[in-house]
Structure 1
Amino acid sequence: MLCFSGNSSGARASKMEARLLRIDTLYRQLAPNPDAPASAVRALPPSVVEDLYEIFRPDSPRNPFKTEALRWRNLLIFMLLLRLGLRRSEAALLHTNSFKEDFDPEAGKSVHWLDIEETEDIDPRYEQPGLKTEPSRRQLPLSQEIVDLALHYIRNYRGRANYPYLLISQKAKPLALRSFGKMFEIVTEALSDRAKDSLSKQGLESVSCHDLRHTSAVIRMRRYQDAGNDVDKAQEKLRVFFGWSKASNMPRLYAKAYFETRLAEVWDEKFDHFVDALRRTVPEAGR
């Protein structure tokens, strides 16, 4: 027969109460991790896209770049980042021979694409560009207009350089990554007051290379859906096009993003206007 004394029971009860108090105090200090806010989709407002087309046009009085070579090179950069959604490091890696062409017998015409990959060529840049994609090499289809623009720059304004990279500085060296940001700082200053106000309302202080990538992704997501792809298929296409890993949540982010229809209208209309101007300015673009 077990027997407990009163003193023994009281001591155990006191110890138990002390333990419970410590546990209660500990857990009251803990709080579940708050839900991380979703990353903002920094798609540029339509008025800003309109302004950028006007500013980058080589014959525009609002173009802030002094030489013809700079104007055509920077226009090419703008189109590669906006139309293809390239990262600045991907654009910096491109070679003059990254633009490929082949004849498609089924379509009965030539097709063009862009090879994006790292090479073993000598790169004198202090901050060397690299790829963040899976796989490490991918191919993007190209419109004839971008092909013609690239050829026009290569043939007339790139100049001779001892490096195979497409985008060359005024000192005939591969364009530094920081030069991309500097270019858009200058362009941001050239924006109209209306466009700057739209940027501010979007929570943006300036236009960046990555803002163009966001804009490209938002529009492409909508177009995949407009073409009849369900959300899952559209997300998978987006993942492949932009080089995101299978674990990346970026496609899902764009699938949920608010999309302003007017932005797509600006994309079509302004690009058509640009193509017409390009064909009248660049003879080979009209072939």
Structure 2
Amino acid sequence: MDGTLDHVMIRVEDLEESLDWYQTHLNYEEKGRWEADTFTNVFLGPEDVHEDGALLELTYNHDGRTYEIGDAWGHIAVRVPEDALQESYDQLMAEGVEDYRDPESCGNRYAFVTDPDGHEIEIVKRDHGAKWSIDHTMIRVEDADEALGYWTRKFEYTEVPGRWEADSFSNYFVAPEDAPDEAMKVELTYNYDGREYTMGDGWGHVAVRVDDLDDAWDALMTREAPDYRDPASCDHNYAFTKDQDGHEVELVTRD
């Protein structure tokens, strides 16, 4: 199983508005598009995204539905150079992006903005990867041990540097063992107060690359992953499982 995180999908209510936002403010370009009868998927990323870097998938349903963000999904994080956090945030503010959490309020370690649908985007300082490329996707989990065990057993991931254990919560980062720095990671956030989360439908899934769809699916079933949408039900183009909290994980192949 390859295991590289291929993309993260979010649902948007106005495709053209969202495309304009990401292309204007994060300098993303369209990397791929799938037009179906009832929905459109568009894949975006920086021009010079790494070959193992993740893309952002925007899903637009044509029926005009609205979405609830929920709180089980947290944010995507995008990279800026180590010395460019304030400059990058100021640039976004000058362009009219909504002021959510500025660098000063975050100890000058990171900052947050929101896109037109309210999806949170963290801005993090990194010395690797293209500017605005996706560094990680954060999801909230109700049991840290179960969550770490899920990614370790099901996808053969390992915990990578970045663990942060605070008084009221912990953050853990997982990725394939040999993933390059430029690859996306999954951030697992665990709050100690025993809270439960609402999944909502504004976020869709993270996608994991596999070498062979059927072989990967069989391995996941052996490892007791949830049987959500098997390859046959998806015309052998992809498949879906879920983690222990219900976050959807897509399996995809890439040439």
Shorter-chain TM-score bucket reads under 0.3
Higher strand share: 2
Q: Determine which structure has the larger helix proportion and give its number.
A: 1
TM-score, normalization by structure 2: 0.28
Per the normalisation by structure 1, the TM-score is: 0.26
